[in-house]
Amino acid sequence: MPVFCVRGKRALNKYSRDPDSYQNVLVRADSKDDAREVGRNTLAYALEGPIAVTGILEIDHGDKTSVPFGLDYKKPWYAQRLVFFDLETTGLTEEDRIIEIGLAVYNTETKQFEEAESTYVNPEGRESHPKAQEVHQIDPEMLEEAPMFAEVVEDVLAPYMEDTIWIAHNYGFDWSFFVRHLKAAGYDKPLPPCLCSYALATVTDCGQEDNKLNTLSEHFDVKLENHHKAIDDALAGGNVFMKLARKNASLRNAKTTREIIAYFDAIVS
């Protein structure tokens, strides 16, 4: 299988610093299109957030064992394992910490969630900002015995990081936070692609008043009992995404995962 060198730079958004940082990554793929997708997600980890691919070059790489495979982008997106996730944090800055993670795996054949995980995360001494505390209602005492993020990656998240598509309701915030924590924890494997249900809502007119998760949940009659509880938001976000997908012509007509990744690249840029 050919080896490609994919070059990218950090995309400019309100959560990014140093948007002109460039980095290269080697990936194995059948084609340049596949290499673009695998490389984009690997670079998103290295550069801590959304990136833009600026170049792809096929190379002669002697030791191919260290070059990662990625998701099969020729499969339909709805045939992949879809992992919906949500985070609660101590605040909004890059110095803040994740304190709760919820994720749910959706089976598109049965139209049901087949797995769900939820855990608190030790903030390692970082206290929640008052406004954040008011939103998530997670007291410091609830986090005293919680595992460190690196432990959560190994014990909870690792099985869901390969051959999956992750989906958040606020890609720019949740995914950037998540990637930054993964890097700090020493996670060195390729990342799955991440889609954004909020971005999908902005281009799918269903008569909703706005595109907030609680508003969309009410609009689509989706259960959301404890808004800002990570697992509840992940489950609601999954149901909202699937309802939006059924109403969005681009998602209904997409034949491959590559097409859907390209579509989301366009609507979140």
pLDDT in tens, 93-150: 999 999 999 999 998 888 889 999 999 999 999 999 999 999 999 999 999 999 999 9
For residues 240 and 117, what is the distance between their CA atoms, to the nearest angstrom? 19
Convert the pLDDT of each residue in 181-228 to its tens digit.
998 999 888 788 899 999 999 999 888 989 999 999 999 999 998 999
pTM more than 0.95: no
Write the DSSP assignment of 10-67 as a string of letters: EPP-TT-S-TT-EEEEEEE-SSHHHHHHHHHHHHHHHTTS-EEEEEEEEE--S-GGGS
In this structure, how many other beta carbons lie within 10 angstroms of the beta carbon of residue 79? Answer: 12
Looking at residue 142, the DSSP 8-state letter turns out to be G
Three-state DSSP at 69 gives: coil
Give yes or no for a contact between 183 and 48, defined as CB atoms under 8 angstroms apart: yes
Beta carbons within 8 Å of 234's beta carbon, 6+ residues apart: 84, 85, 86, 102, 103, 104, 116
Mean pLDDT, the chain, as a whole number? 85
- Outline where DSSP puts E strands in the chain: 3-10, 22-28, 51-59, 81-89, 98-107, 112-120, 164-168, 194-196
Pairing of β 98-107 and β 112-120 = antiparallel
Structural domains of the chain ordered from first start: 3-66 (no CATH), 77-268 (3.30.420.10)
pLDDT value, residue 21: 59
